[in-house]
Chain A
Amino acid sequence: MAADRNRQDALYAEAAAAYGPALGRLARSYERDADKQRDLLQDVHIALWRSFAGFEDGCSLRTWVYRVAHNIGASHIVRERRRGGHRLVGLEEVEATLASREGPPALERSRALDRVYELIHRLKPLDRQIILLYLEGSDAASIADVTGVSPGNAATRVHRIKSILARRYHGGSTT
């Protein structure tokens, strides 16, 4: 019992050290309001700690952490939408909207980042999850592993994300 608890604490400490900053960005991506963001981040950490009681070795720590964190983020969206949130869109819709516009000029880094967050806040949970995983450095195969989307679909969506980011943040430049 005590050994289990120690293992749980040790796994949580390892996850918080390795993925702490990524979890902060995730909370910011799922919630605009700063106070609610802090609450959400705490919820994610609590869920992670609790989840490690049932950690399965067949899954990598990274995959586990992202699955749990995104599930908490997704349920946060559902709760907030019940309280009257705005309409969320899919990557396809974002792409179609961009296609009908001229690309903006290249943006400075911090402004570009704000626009990335702005874009993410409009997305449906699963697309939000995929773009976040991509931005955190995951490739299509590990996105498929975390989300359960087929590798082919993950690759298609990653391609779409690249196209959206390039057109929206580099004034249409794709080089």
Chain B
Amino acid sequence: MTNDNGTNDVRMAWQADNAGNIRLSAQDLRARIERVSRRTSHRTIGGLIVCALVMLSWLYVWSVAPLTSGLARAGMTIIVGAIAVLGFQLIVHRDVAEDTWRAMAERGGAPSLAFHRWQLERQREFHRGWRVWSRMLLFVPGGVLFFLGFAGEHPEVATTIHLEFAAFLMLAAAAFPVNERLARRYERQLDELNRLQEDRS
């Protein structure tokens, strides 16, 4: 059995602890908000520059050591395009998600459990359904074309390329169960949250 006597002094010590107290003026608040939004747009621009650099590097590699096989070229082009598209999506979605995230966090009218649920649902969706398929569709066809074309272009190392191709396909196939496992983990956490909302008494 425990009672409050056992923990009241811990509570009192806790409440007496001065871990830091600030109070921001209206100017401080506005300046800080502006700084955060500036940082976000700098990050977006930085991300777009990275995407552009990926494309330019590919053009450079192509001009220095061109692939002769049409299949390999098509595959490589699809892969580079997929990287650029995915990078762009991640950057744009991240900024949108951060804004939504902040707006959700600032909802003091709703209990915190709603916020936790929203976070978990968002993480679960990332690993399930069309999001997983779209990531696979962006990368797998390009990879398949590239490996097949490259093996045809260099028959002297075709065995090695075929082995790499097999490893690539295995990794691609493994992505589905791995994502499903992660989604199920979030699903279980959501179930736990739901149980916490139900009264056992």
* Leading 10 A-B pairs by shortest Cβ distance: A148-B111, A148-B113, A166-B6, A64-B108, A24-B20, A71-B105, A51-B106, A152-B199, A150-B199, A20-B21
Q: Is A163's CB under 8 angstroms from B2's CB?
A: yes
Identity of the chain B residue whose Cβ is nearest the Cβ of A25 in the assembled complex: B19
Q: Are the C-beta atoms of B105 and A68 separated by less than 8 Å?
A: yes
Question: Could you list 5 A-B pairs, sorted by A, with CB under 8 Å?
Answer: A42-B22, A54-B109, A71-B104, A129-B112, A174-B5
Residue of A21, A65, A71, A170 with most chain B CB atoms under a 10 A cut-off: A71
CB distance from B68 to the nearest CB of A (A): 42
Chain A interface, >50% SS class = helix
Known A109-B13, A116-B14, A152-B199; contact A78-B119, beta-carbon cutoff 8 A: yes
Whether A46 contacts B19 by the Cβ 8 Å rule is: no
Segment with Cβ contacts to A, from B23-31, B58-66, B145-153 = B23-31
Asked whether A123 is an interface residue with its Cβ less than 8 Å from the other chain, the reply is: no
Contact with B along A151-166 (1 / 0, CB 8 A): 1110010010111011
Near A by CB (< 8 A), chain B positions 24-79 give 24, 26, 29, 32-33, 36
The residue in chain A whose Cβ has the minimal distance to the Cβ of B20 is A24
**Given A27-B19, A47-B102, A166-B6, A148-B109 contact (CB < 8 Å):** no
Would you give the shortest CB distance from A19 to chain B, in whole angstroms? 9
- Asked if A2 lies at the interface with its beta carbon under 8 angstroms from chain B, I say no
Q: Report the bound CA distance from A46 to B35 in whole Å.
A: 12
A94 at interface (Cβ–Cβ under 8 A)?
no
Residues on B facing A (Cβ under 8 Å): 1-7, 9-11, 13-15, 17-24, 26, 29, 32-33, 36, 101-102, 104-116, 119, 193, 195-201
Assembled-state Cα–Cα distance A73/B115 (Å) = 11
Q: Are A162 and B15 in contact (CB under 8 A)?
A: no
Query: A55-93: which residues lie under 8 A (CB-CB) from chain B?
Result: 55-56, 58-59, 63-65, 67-68, 70-72, 74-75, 78
Contact B18 A17 (CB under 8 A): no
Give the contacting residue for A21; candidates B18, B104, B119; CB below 8 A: B18
Partner of B111, one of A42, A112, A135, A147: A147
* Among B10, B24, B116, B201, contact of A74 (Cβ-Cβ < 8 Å): B116
Give the residues in chain A near B14, CB-CB below 8 Å.
Answer: 25, 113, 116, 135-136
Q: Report chain A residues within 8 Å CB of B193.
A: 126
B127 to chain A, nearest CB (A): 14
Q: How many angstroms between the C-alpha atoms of A148 and B113 in the bound complex? A: 5
Minimum CB–CB distance for A11 against chain B, Å? 10
Please state if A67 and B24 are interface contacts (CB–CB under 8 Å). Answer: no
* Docked CA distance A85–B6 (Å): 32
Min Cβ gap B114→A in Å is: 6
B2 near A166: Cβ-Cβ < 8 Å: yes
Is the beta-carbon distance between B108 and A68 smaller than 8 angstroms?
yes
Say yes or no: A23 contacts B21, CB within 8 Å: yes
Determine whether the beta carbon of A146 is less than 8 Å from that of B116: no
B7 touches A137 (CB 8 A): no
